[in-house]
Every structure is written in structure tokens, then in C-alpha cells.
Structure 1
Amino acid sequence: MTTASATSVDSGPTPPDETDPGGGVLTGRYRALTLGIVSVVLLLAFEATAVNTAMPVAARQLDGLPLYAFAFSGYFTTTLFALVVSGQWCDRRGPLRPLFTGIAVFGAGLVVAGAAPGMWVFVAGRAIQGLGGGLVIVALYVVVGRAYPERLRPSVFAAFSSAWVLPSIVGPVVSGAVTDHLGWRWVFLAVPVLILLPLAVMGPALRRSEREQPVLKGAEFDRRRSRLAAMAALGAGLLQYAGQRLDLIGLLPAFAGVALLVPAVLGLLPAGTLRAARGLPTVILLRGVAAGAFFAAEAFIPLMMVTQRGLSPTLAGLTLTSGGLSWALGSWLQGRPGAEPYREAMIRWGFLLTAVAIAGAALVLVPAVPAWVAAAAWGVGGIGMGLTVASVSVLMMKLSTPEDAGANSASLQMSDALGNVLLVGLSGVLFSALGGGSVAAAHGGAEGSGSVGAFTVIFLTMTGVALVGALLGGRVRRTA
């Protein structure tokens, strides 16, 4: 494939199945490693659920509602660059260094965001978080590809999804209580303390696993790929900035963003990704389509519940809890014995369920519809995403050679980040253009004055994107 890293390994890693001692991900040699890497996902999950709950309050108090979407998409913009760096770093030296470095940078971004005096500094903190998150997530995927046999990888990805269960339940409650009584800043400033637990749990297990792997050759970084990654991040940032201006002056950064982003994406993703070529290119593409549609809608659900239905930050955040719980269920289902022949069907049904969920959440904009309908709809969407994302990840690993594991994992995560950047950014443009940026603060059950039309257009657009994903789901397997 064209995006394979320029690095290599001594005769390639030994396929894990050849030395597989049997058992599950929580037995024998895999127990400590599984607990370690899942603890990292647990940290990322808690941060995400806490931020979703606190974000509407933070944006209002920083007078930054017009930049609301930017606070989410800014994270994924810098992730675009970090993903490529992490993929090459992992292929060259193994996943330990990018993993630990990413956790440290992620924590630094939380501190910057929590101490931000204004919305632009807050967005900068989120961007720093994106750098750390990009390093971490690729490293985790490489750990799975190098340390686990193929038969256990669906279970590992299911464990990743299960790690969202506790944060989905506890995160909104804790974050909402902290936001109400101590202020939204402490939601960000307190999370870095939780970094100490994953570091303590995963360190020995990861080092022991890495010692068992072949020694990687010290090839240089592919500077061309690094430049393309920087171009993609800069281009995405310019497009987001242009979308916030919505005037003739904004056309200049918009054109510059497109000129940077398009060739960068073509050079970084597998050949045929943008035209949904069969096999790995479509697998990579669908990750971005799924993530972009789901998370673009999810970013606006708490704001909708606060401004349109008068819910508190805690209750608005809890609306998303059902999605975290059911995501774990969907991921568990795809990892059951005998599920492998149905990968394609699970991906297509996953997209259909996601489309139903996004459209269902939009029904809450009708005053006669109970607010709990949004939570019920998001539970359906979680099942769909669990089926889709885990199945796509399994197929990516199956279609990758050991030497390409880091590069393909980076491509998969880049597609995820790019889908978020473009579709969350598009949602932000629609939100501002249709009057959503003038949403008033809402407390004590008083309904906000935001534009119902802005929310409606966002949800219907993302429903359409999810349906496109369902149509493309049949192209994940190569033709015979």
C-alpha cells in the first residue's frame, strides 16, 4: 500500500498466533497487559464524557458560543498531525515512547484548557490535548497488533468499548456536580491527576510485552509523510477559521485550506480511500464516516438539551450515557464466537442504527416529545457504533501486514480525526450561519432562544452521512 511506513522490522514480527498460549484477554500472559491498556482508554473516556458535560457552560462563561464546535474540532485538527508521527514512531521504536509521551502532552492540554482566560486559549488547550491523544491512540492499536493473536483482537477492541461504561455512568454526574458547585475549570484541572493510575498499572506490563517483540530497525522518519500531516492539520485549521468568518474575507483561508488539505489527504491515506475502493481503502474511509456523523451530532446534544429543553449540565450530559453503555454492548456482540462471517452485515446495520439514532435525537426539538427520547435514541446509536467501529478495526488489522500495522493504524485514526474535523466543523458553520451562535444561557428549566433550525439541519445532515456509510458497507471486502 502507498501509505506504508518507510521503516521495517527484522524479518517482521512473529505472528502472535504461532506462540499463542490459549485463553482469553484476561488470562495468563495477557491479563496485566489488557488491564494496563484498557486503563488508558478508561482515562480518555472519562475525559471525553466530562468535557461533553462541561462544554456548554465553559463556552457560555468564556463568551465563546460561536466557537463551540471549534473547541471539539480543534482537538481533532492537531490529532491529524500526531497520528502520522505516532505511526512512524511506533514502527521505528515500538509503541512505548509515543504512548507515554502522548499521555503527558494530553495532561498538559487539560491544564491549559482549565486555566484558559478566553475561548481561543481554551481551543488551544484542546488542540494540545489532540496532539497527546493522537500519539496515544495509534500506540494502543499497535500494541494490540503486536501483542495479541488475531483470535483475541475482537475481544480487545470490545474491552476498549467496555472501558467507556463506567465513565459514561459516572462522568456526567461527577462533571455536572463539579461544574455546578466548583466551576467547569475543575473538570479539566482534576482529570490530569487520574493519569497517575494508568501509568502505574500499564508500565510494567507494556515493557514486558515490548521485550518479547522483535527489535525494530532504526530507520529515519519519513519526512514527506510528516510534511503531509502538517499540511493536513494546517489546512483543516484554515477551513475551520474560514467557516467561523462567513464573509468574503473568509474565502482566502478557505481556498488555502483546501489547497493544503486535499493533496495531504491523498498522500496520507491508502490509494482509493476517497473513492471507496474495495477492501482496505473502504475500511479506512468508513471509520471517518462513522466517527464524523456520530460525534458531530453528539457534540451538539448537550447544548441542545441545555438551551432548548432547559436541562442542567448534569442531566444534559447524562443524555449521552446510554450511548456509552450500548456502544460496549455492540462491540461485545461483534466479538462473539461465530461473528466473523457477518462483519460486512454488522457494519451496514451499525450505520443504519446510527442514522436512526441521530434522527431520533432531533425529535426532542419538538416540545411535545419527552426529553428522555434523546437518551433512548442515543442508546440505539451506541449499539450501531459498537458494531461498526470495532468491526472496522478488526478488518483493518486483518488486511494489514505486520510491517504496515503502525502506518495503517495511523491511517485509520487519521480517517477518524478527519471525519470529525470536517463534519464537526461543518456543523459549526451551519450552527453559526443559522443563528445558533446567539443561543442564550439556560438555567432552571427556562428554555433558551437558540435556533431550532440550526440544530435540525445539523442532525438531518449527519443522518444522511450515516446512511451513505450504510451504502458503502458492502465494499469492505475485496472481490474474489
Structure 2
Amino acid sequence: MTRPEAAARPQGILDKPYRLVSIGACALIVIAAFEQLAVTTIMPAIARDLDGLALYALAFAGPLASGVIGMVLAGDWSDRRGPVKALYASVALFALGLVIAGTAPTMPIFLAGRLVQGLGGGALTVALYVIVAKIYPPRLQPKIFGAFAAAWVVPALVGPFIAGVVGQYLGWRWVFLGVVVLVLPAMAMVLPAMRSMAPHDRLEPDGRSSTARALWAVLLAIAILGLNIAADLDGVARWVLATGGLAVALVALRPLLPAASLRLRRGLPSVIAMRGLLAGAFMSAEVYLPYVLTERFGLTAALAGLALSFSGVAWGSSSLAQGRLGDRVSHRTAIRIGILGATAAIGVVLLVTALELPAWVIIGGWFLGGAGMGFAYPRITVLTFDYSTPAEQGFNSSALAIADSGGSAIALALGAVAFSVAGAPGSQPSFVATFAFSLVAGILALIVSARVSQRPRRA
């Protein structure tokens, strides 16, 4: 390469031709981040207002389950026709779900809105991943995924606190309806970026039936919802439904992931499985943090949201840090360091809850958890692309997102079973049981990380 050619070569994600795509995609991430952190903060108030405390975990697991369907459809759509139209459809569904949830008079209707919202959110994740894979060179991918995570910083700083204040003084409905208003200018920023993409060349079918995959995704969503219902049952019925739901969920996952993912084969299968375990461990603990801080430690919703704020800031900051480190730290090393930090943070939460230590220890400990997730997540995504041919980018991006959401939803459901079995809802034993389950999932993710091999980077 001549010196003028090297000088003209784009060096960053804000250089041409990546600037518009980077800004537009990060704007959507900011919206999704604010919504997720806000809902986690105000969910205890929503559940009490709509008389739905028994469905607390389902309000989180439901959109994760429906998101799997959106991921499958968006992955297949992106492989065959490109990710642009999939992105438009996903944003429309996401906004519609927010409107339904924000105007819901009852908990079932609220859950229906969350399901629609999850369908759009799942598709949004995959569409953005495929856009990154198709237009960014491998050397810039850690940076753009680091930017995605860094886009959580501002929502993490102000989102939970604002959600707590809005929920306390204006009502929780405005948290959802306000986010709808923010979606419109975000999409206005994305439109020029999407038009700048080159026309997509249709790929030959890779042998996977999109209809069959969609049906497996629906079955997985039904199994996950059944798992959550099991937490509200008693006696033998609870264990029959929980065992059957878990078995069906694993069967349905198998064709949606790369071959041998559930058998933890080295390489891409272990990368995908590890992502599911890590996501499940972190999510199944995080959704109960505002609950335990308000119920057991007497904090307000706004103060409880600080745990999520600090964690989000740490997540974004460590994501930027790993992007700057580049090849100086291998993917495998970065991933193992991140998983260790996240698992240690869950252990801190468990210990504080069990021993009734000061609440600030939980908030500080969750900062460590966010830093660990931010260090590991971008490298897991980049390693997935290193294993992917252009024709597989949609499927593997979909599989990664499915493992993330599916693992989180299954872990939430099993954590909810532990929560209901260990004692009365909101009691100390119920929280201890849930956090103990999350810790086990984190340890399993750390064990699986030993089976992740480094793959030579694509040119």
C-alpha cells in the first residue's frame, strides 16, 4: 500500500464512510438503553399499581422470549434482502409496544405491550449487528461495538434516576410514552445513514428454512413463558411445568444456534453458549436489584436506580477501554477477565443480601459487574464475526442475540422459580435463592470460557 493510500484509509468509526451509520446506530442504542434501564427501575411500582407482583419476572422474560422470534426473522431477512428494511420494521414494532404498555389498564395488557416491544427490540439488535458486519472492517468492529456499549453511559447516568422521579411524581406511564417521542428523532438520524449503504446483493439460501426457524422460535417463546408461569404454581404442578418447559426450551434452542452449541463444542458453539450463560447470570440478578434495594433496604426507586446507573457507566467505559486495547489483549483473555468481574459482582450482591450488609456495597459491587460485562461483550461479538462467512453473518448474529435473550429469559424464569420456592415473595430467603442461582450461572460461563479458542482475524 502506498503512503497516500494509507493516509486515505479510514482510521475510525467517525471517518467517512462510517460516520452517518455510526451516529445513527448509536442513537438507537441510546433509546433502547434508556428504556431497558428505566423499566428495570420502575417495574416494582408498575407491578404494585396493576396488581401484578406475581408476574414480576414475566414482565422481563416476556419481551426476551418474543425477542427471539424477532431475532430469527431479522436474521433471515438480513441474509436474504439486507438489514435496512428489517431495521425499519423493528423500530416500528418497538414503538408500538411502548404505546401499548404505556396505556395499559391491566397487567395482561401491559404484558402484551412488552411482548410487542420485545419482538421489535430483538429484531433491532440483529439488524444493527448485521449492518456492522457488512460495512465495518474487522479492525474497526471492536471500536463500534465499544461505541454501542458506551452509548449506554448517558442513559445509565440519568435514566434510572429520571425514571424513578417520573414514576414517583408523574406516573410510570410517562416513562414509556416519553421514550416513544424520542424514537422519532432517532430514526430521523438513522435514515440518511441507511440510504448511504450500498444495495444488498441477495445471497443464495444456505439450506436453513426460515419458516422452520420461525416455528422453533415460537416454540422457544412458548416454553419460556411456560417456565415463568411455573413460578406461580404450587406443588407437583410447578415442577412438572418447570421441568417440561426447560426441556422444550433446550430442544427449541438447538436448531436456532450453530451446531453443537448445547454440547459446548470448541470454537463458535462455545462462544454462543458462553454468551447465553453470561447474559442469564447478569440479567437474572440485575432485575431484582431495585426490588431488593427498595424492599429489604428501604431505598427509594430513584436511589435504587443508582446501582443500574453506576453499572451502566462502568459497562460503557470498560467497553471503550477494550476497544482501545485492540489486539494487545486477546479476545479470549478479555472475555475471561470480563466474566470474572461480572461473576464476582453477583457474589457480592448475594453476600450483602444474606448478611444484611450496607446497601452501598451492592451499588459499588454492581459497578464491578458492569465493568466486567463491558469488557467481555464486545469481544464475544467480534469473535462471533471472526467465525462467520458473509453468508452466515445474519444467522450467526441472530444466534448470538438469541443466546443472549434466550439465556436471559430462561435464567429469569428459573430464578423466579427459586424466588417463589425459597420463601414469601420479597423475603430475605427469596432474594438469596435468586442471587445464588445467578452466581451458579456466572460460574458456568467462566468454565465454558476455557473452551473458547482464538480464531485468526479476517482481512
Same fold (TM over 0.5): yes
Q: Does 1:164 align with 2:152?
A: yes
Q: Does 1:232 align with 2:220?
A: yes
Q: Does 1:305 align with 2:293?
A: yes
Shift of 1:339: 3.2
Residue 179 of structure 2 aligns to which amino acid in structure 1?
A: V
Shift of 1:250: 4.6
Asked if the contact 1:102–1:131 (Cα under 8 Å) also holds between the matched residues in 2, the reply is yes
Summarize the alignment of residues 237-252 of structure 1 with structure 2, pairs less than 5 Å apart: 237-250=225-238
Residue aligning to 1:41: 29
Asked if the contact 2:58–2:228 (Cα under 8 Å) also holds between the matched residues in 1, the reply is yes
In structure 1, C-alpha distance between the alignment counterparts of 2:278 and 2:347, rounded to whole Å: 15
In structure 2, C-alpha distance between the alignment counterparts of 1:35 and 1:235, rounded to whole Å: 37
- Match of 1:26, SS state, is coil
Choose from 435, 439, 451 the match for 1:459. 435
- Relative distance call for 1:405 and 1:72 in structure 2 (3 A) is same
Choose from 62, 78, 94 the match for 1:74. 62
Residue aligning to 1:433: 421
Residue 279 of structure 2 aligns to which amino acid in structure 1?
A: A
In structure 2, C-alpha distance between the alignment counterparts of 1:180 and 1:253, rounded to whole Å: 37
Residue aligning to 2:169: 181
- Match of 2:231, SS state, is helix
Residue 414 of structure 1 aligns to which amino acid in structure 2?
A: I
- Match of 1:244, SS state, is coil
Asked if the contact 1:321–1:375 (Cα under 8 Å) also holds between the matched residues in 2, the reply is no
Residue aligning to 1:215: 201
Residue aligning to 2:447: 471
Residue aligning to 2:265: 277
Residue aligning to 2:3: none
Q: Does 1:358 align with 2:364?
A: no
Residue aligning to 2:192: 204
Q: TM-score, normalised by structure 1?
A: 0.89
Summarize the alignment of residues 86-125 of structure 1 with structure 2, pairs less than 5 Å apart: 86-125=74-113
In structure 2, C-alpha distance between the alignment counterparts of 1:168 and 1:314, rounded to whole Å: 12
In structure 1, C-alpha distance between the alignment counterparts of 2:103 and 2:409, rounded to whole Å: 24
Residue aligning to 2:115: 127
Shift of 1:340: 5.5
In structure 1, C-alpha distance between the alignment counterparts of 2:353 and 2:251, rounded to whole Å: 40
Deviation track 1:346-385 (CA, whole Å, cap 9, x = no partner) reads 1112111111111112343267622211111011001110
Deviation track 1:103-146 (CA, whole Å, cap 9, x = no partner) reads 11111111111222222222221111110011100000000000
- Relative distance call for 1:163 and 1:266 in structure 2 (3 A) is same
Deviation track 1:263-292 (CA, whole Å, cap 9, x = no partner) reads 321111111111211000011011111111
Summarize the alignment of residues 363-374 of structure 1 with structure 2, pairs less than 5 Å apart: 363-365=351-353, 369-374=357-362
Asked if the contact 1:234–1:260 (Cα under 8 Å) also holds between the matched residues in 2, the reply is no
User: What is the root-mean-square deviation of aligned Cα atoms in Å?
Assistant: 2.1
Residue aligning to 1:144: 132
Asked if the contact 1:292–1:424 (Cα under 8 Å) also holds between the matched residues in 2, the reply is yes
Q: Does 1:328 align with 2:316?
A: yes
Choose from 264, 270, 277 the match for 1:289. 277
Residue 454 of structure 1 aligns to which amino acid in structure 2?
A: S
Asked if the contact 1:290–1:389 (Cα under 8 Å) also holds between the matched residues in 2, the reply is no
Residue 464 of structure 1 aligns to which amino acid in structure 2?
A: V
In structure 1, C-alpha distance between the alignment counterparts of 2:152 and 2:90, rounded to whole Å: 20
- Match of 1:332, SS state, is helix
Asked if the contact 1:306–1:316 (Cα under 8 Å) also holds between the matched residues in 2, the reply is yes
- Relative distance call for 1:470 and 1:343 in structure 2 (3 A) is same
Tell me whether 24-33 or 248-257 shows the greater mean CA deviation.
Answer: 248-257
Residue 93 of structure 2 aligns to which amino acid in structure 1?
A: V
Gapped regions of structure 2 (runs ≥ 5): 1-5
Residue 459 of structure 1 aligns to which amino acid in structure 2?
A: F
- Relative distance call for 1:172 and 1:254 in structure 2 (3 A) is closer
In structure 2, C-alpha distance between the alignment counterparts of 1:393 and 1:410, rounded to whole Å: 11
- Match of 1:372, SS state, is helix
- Match of 1:54, SS state, is helix
Residue 465 of structure 1 aligns to which amino acid in structure 2?
A: A
Deviation track 1:172-208 (CA, whole Å, cap 9, x = no partner) reads 1211111111111111121110101211101111121
Residue aligning to 1:8: none
Q: TM-score, normalised by structure 2?
A: 0.93
Shift of 1:251: 5.7
User: Percent identity, aligned pairs only?
Assistant: 40
Residue aligning to 2:393: 405
Deviation track 1:410-445 (CA, whole Å, cap 9, x = no partner) reads 0000001111111111111111222343xxxxxxxx
In structure 1, C-alpha distance between the alignment counterparts of 2:400 and 2:130, rounded to whole Å: 12
Asked if the contact 1:62–1:118 (Cα under 8 Å) also holds between the matched residues in 2, the reply is yes
- Match of 2:287, SS state, is helix
In structure 1, C-alpha distance between the alignment counterparts of 2:454 and 2:264, rounded to whole Å: 12
Asked if the contact 1:431–1:455 (Cα under 8 Å) also holds between the matched residues in 2, the reply is yes
